[in-house]
Structure formats: structure tokens, C-alpha cells
Structure 1
Amino acid sequence: MTTTDPDLSLPADFDGPETTTPCARVADIDGIPMSALLSEAPNPRAVIVALHGGATNSAYYDCPGHPELSLLRFASALGYTVLALDRPGYGTSAPFAVEIAPHQRRVDLTYAAIDHHLGSRPRGAGVFVWAHSAGSELAVRMAADERGTDLLGIELAGTGREHQPVAAEILGTPHQPAPPEAVRELLWQPSHLYPTELIGGAPIASSTPRYESGVLATWARIDFPALAARIRVPVHFTAAEFEKVWRIDSAALQDIAAMFTAAPSVTVNEQAGSGHNLSLGHGAPDYYAKVLSFVEDCTHSTTGKDD
């Protein structure tokens, strides 16, 4: 287990919205419309596919009114094409959530959506998957799939193997909905870490597909460790300093890293000055720089790839 240091930063003349404007796209995958935001870089170093968490959408990575927090704008300014997908059951695919709920169906649909959205666009060194919170479940399934060996690597954040005691009490079970105000406290505190108008997530809120509660019920205890052991590409795991949902103490992070027994490397980043919603806080640029440093390392290595 290693820790990264940031060595990528935006150019001094980066001016946010003028630098690049992500475009909204919809791809038809066998009758399922899959929406996304795309920010292209000419001759990209690589392509980053970003997967949002629960109760939000692809705008998590390009929050309205805050271009300075946008992964799409930040990474494309540094030479990466970024495709932020609305995960299956979100965005334009929401009406088909029941049909596309099975695990393998969602993986297949996501891989197909990536290929359709990117088309003949250059991919540089390849595709790196970057996921947050509930989106980490899909990212891990994608990486554990046989096609996952072609990925450059994955970034996981806002997830774990065990809830903190307070979070476990608040979140309860799928049959006992958690009190909204208590969940807000878990996800958006300390409040000084975020722009005031973003607290609560209203600018990027989305309905959650019904299948997701069942998926997450077995995630930490069963699916995460079983799937992690099958991943054969580099793994980067970020734990926010003020994460209140998942255990992030030293022992917990060691347990997480130890699950990836087939991965060529596992890097743990303890992100100072950030809470659960890493891409919506004031510390987002530093977080991006750290993960992009890891992505850059992956572009220069074929470790974990089959000959």
C-alpha cells in the first residue's frame, strides 16, 4: 500500500468555463438511451470514464455554477478526455431501470455506452475508470469483468467495507429508510468544506433507481471483497479526511487494500480537507491532481496487462 503526492496542477492561465465546455450526449444502446457529459482534449493522454454516486447524476463531475470544481474541465485542461456517464437507471435510462438492473446487464451496457460515446475519438493510452460512492460498485464490476484487463486502472472513493457506527445506525436497512436530515449530516459535514449552495446536493440531485438499495445491501460484506480479488489492473483508493459514512482508520484502509490480491498495485490516498462528496468540495482540485498523477503513471505502464 502506497500513498500518492500531487504532481499535476492546472496551468496558471486556467480560466474555468472558457477553457472547455462539456457537451451533453445520448447514446442509443439497443433501445436504451444512455446519457453522458463529454469533455474532449485534443490528442488525449488517456480517457477518463467517471461514474457518479447515488441520488445524483453525471453533473456531479461538472457541478452547475462551479466550473472550478469540475473534473471534466480540470482533467481536459491537462490533456485528458473525460466521459461522465449517467449510470444505468439514471439520466435518460431511468425509465428502463427495472430492465437493466441485473449486474451483468449494467456492466455490458456501460461498456457499450463508452464505445458508442467515444466512437472513433482518440483514446490515448486507454481508458481509466474513476468512480465515487455507489458508482464504485459498477466500477469494480467493470474491472473484475474479463474486459477489465484492458483498463488502465480504477479510482474508487466514498466507499468501503464497513460503515462507521453512527452511519450504520442512521442508514439502517433497505426496509427501514434513513431519516433525510441525518443522511444529510453524514454526507455534507463539515459544512465549511463545501460551497453553501451545494450542501444537500440540490443542484445535482436525481431520483435513485429502486434496484440500488438491493445492490448496496450486499456490497461491503459480500460483493466488494469477492470482486476485488479478481481485479488485475492498478487500483487507487481515496479516503476523505472527514468521511463519515465509511470506516477510514488505518486498519480499515489496510483491509481494503488487502482485498485486491491480483492487482499489480494498490495506492491509498488519504485526502486532507475533504468530506464524502470529494468532487463538490473546495478541495476538489487537489483531489483531482492526486488521482491524475496516478492516471499518468498508469499511462506509462503496461503492468497488469496481458501480453
Structure 2
Amino acid sequence: MSTPFTHTHAGRAYSGRSNLEGLERAAGAPLVIALHGGTYTSEYFDIPGYSLLDRAADEGVPVIGLDRPNYVGSDPLETDDSIILANAELLGEAIGSIWEQYGDGAPGVVLLGHSIGGAVATAIAASKPSWPLLGLATSGCLVRVPQESRGAWESLPPIPMIDLPVPMKDQVMFGPAGTFGADMPAASHPSNTLVPKVELLDITGGWIERRAEMCAAVEVPVHHRQGEFDALWVTDEGEVDQYRAGFTSAPSVDIDLQRGSGHCIDFHSPGADFQRSQLEFAREVAKAAVA
């Protein structure tokens, strides 16, 4: 299990989880910063039996899972423009400060993001941060959403924070029966939380319109997996091919469907192999950085 993480930068507080306490860092391991999706907290990355932080600790890889603005103990954020780009701007600056404090001789940072967190991580990478970004690993974001999705989010109550009913959330976050263990989805519920409505509208609207521009600006290696049964995105081989083709400036691109999984790959039967592939990617780009 991880331990609570707190950080302050430019007068803003950030909460989260990390595996730094007692970690024996592997030589050359990068610092991984993980960004959760909408309706989840950073605990998404630390559910017992499905914990990326535990798996990374076993391999000597430091991971900090940050709560994005408006989540848990991270300060709130309001904007009249894109909430995803506003997240990216603040978090990009905060990660630079975190790197200075916790880099500890690592060759650089690997950004890892799920769903809306993946979009935020992509926007950070596209901004070409001043700190050493080595690679981008994402999941659960693609090219298009089903036509009914934005209408569904727009029809939610006109309040800033939305508490999605658990049965509704489980239906869209998980694939069909047989793609996850008997303990799921219940085991994932401790990471559930409220989501800013503006995030749901941005990911299904503005982000889709600027997705190609953002992906084309990424100049580091990319690793992405999309659950075969992801109900939140139009998901098939053609869509994955189109998403892959968008990273025109990345030196390497490893993007594919994750068979036998819904939106939250970490919580499905292929989750362990998926996390291992993310960590292998992180180690590989770190090794290349010092070669």
C-alpha cells in the first residue's frame, strides 16, 4: 500500500498517494507521475490487489499518484476555458516542482494518465515542459465518443460537482461479465468520488476538437492501451489506428487495443499485464535517456 502524499507549489496544495516511503529505487528508474480519471481519486492506482504503486515498488520504480485539482485535498480550480488545459497548466508547473524535490537522481519523469487524466497528461506533454519528460503512458481516451454521451452529461443536474450513481458508473467503467474478477467492481469503490461536470463536458467536446493538435505536439515516446469493451469511447481497430496516427512527432508509438477489458483496464483481468507493460515502457524510455 502507498502512503499519503502532499505537495505545495505556487500557493496551491496537491494531495495524492506515493510509494516513496521505504522504496529501494532501482538504478536508472524514472519518476512516474500518475493522473487519475474523472470520478476517481489517486487511490485508483492503489486498490489492493490491483495497485500500480505496489507493483512499481516491487520493481523499484517510484510513483506519485496526484489528485488533480478539485479532487480530495488538491485545491479547486475554476476556468471559463478548457478545464483539461487548465489542469495541464497547473499540474505541469507542480510536477516541475515535484521533480526538483523527489527526482533523486532519476533520469526524468514518465507521465501516466487514465481517461481524463490521460487527456491532461497528453496536454502536459504537448506543452513541452521544462522538466525532463521521458515518455507518456495513457489509457481510456481515444478519438470519438458515442453520440449519446455528451447529451447524457449535459442532462445531469446543473451543479458544479456530480456524484454519479454507483450502478451507472460501474456499467460504463467495466466490461462484460467474465472480463473482471468476482471482487470487482466493488473493490474499486473506495476510489470513487465526485466529478466536476465541466470535465465531463470538456472531454466529450472541446478535448475531442483539439485532440489531433495535442497529440501531434507530443515529442516523447508514447504508450497507450484502449480497453476492447470501453463503453465511453467509440472503440475498434479503426479508431485505435486513427489515434495512433495522430502522434506524428513522437519518436515511437506503442498503441493497441487491450483485449478482454472495459474502460478501467487496471481493474480487469488483463490489469496486471497492462501495468507491467506500462512499467516496462517507463524503464525503457529511462534507459534510452541515459544511453
User: Into which bin does the TM-score normalised by the smaller protein fall?
Assistant: 0.7 to 0.9
User: What secondary structure does 2:137 align onto?
Assistant: strand
Q: Which runs of 4+ in 1 moved over 6 A?
A: none
Aligned to 1:91: 72
TM-score (norm 1): 0.80
Aligned to 2:144: 162
Report percent identity of matched pairs. 25
The 1-side partners of 2:79 and 2:229 are apart by 37
User: What secondary structure does 1:177 align onto?
Assistant: coil
- The answer on 1:114 being equivalent to 2:95 is yes
Aligned to 1:281: 268
Structure 2 residue runs without a partner (length 5+):
158-163
- The answer on 1:25 being equivalent to 2:5 is yes
User: What secondary structure does 1:221 align onto?
Assistant: helix
Q: Which amino acid aligns with 1:126?
A: G
The 2-side partners of 1:72 and 1:98 are apart by 30
Q: Which amino acid aligns with 2:176?
A: P
Aligned to 1:185: 171
Quote the offset at 1:206 in angstroms.
1.0
Quote the offset at 1:267 in angstroms.
0.7
Quote the offset at 1:38 in angstroms.
1.1
Q: Which amino acid aligns with 1:287?
A: F
Aligned to 1:125: 107
Quote the offset at 1:237 in angstroms.
1.2
Q: Which amino acid aligns with 1:264?
A: P
User: What secondary structure does 2:73 align onto?
Assistant: helix
Deviations 1:98-133 (A, max 9, x none): 269755542232134334445154152210011111
Deviations 1:209-243 (A, max 9, x none): 24313421324531211111111001111022322
Q: Which has the higher contact order (CA 8 A, sep 6+)?
A: 1
- Closer, same or farther: CA 125–285 of 1 in aligned 2, 3 Å: same
User: What secondary structure does 1:301 align onto?
Assistant: helix
**Matched positions, count:** 276
1:39 is aligned, of 4, 19, 31, to: 19
TM-score (norm 2): 0.84
1:151 is aligned, of 114, 121, 133, to: 133
For the 8 Å contact 1:57–1:206, the answer to whether it is kept is yes
Q: Which amino acid aligns with 1:227?
A: M
- The answer on 1:135 being equivalent to 2:122 is no
Aligned to 1:52: 36
Alignment root-mean-square deviation, CA? 2.7
Structure 1 residue runs without a partner (length 5+):
1-20
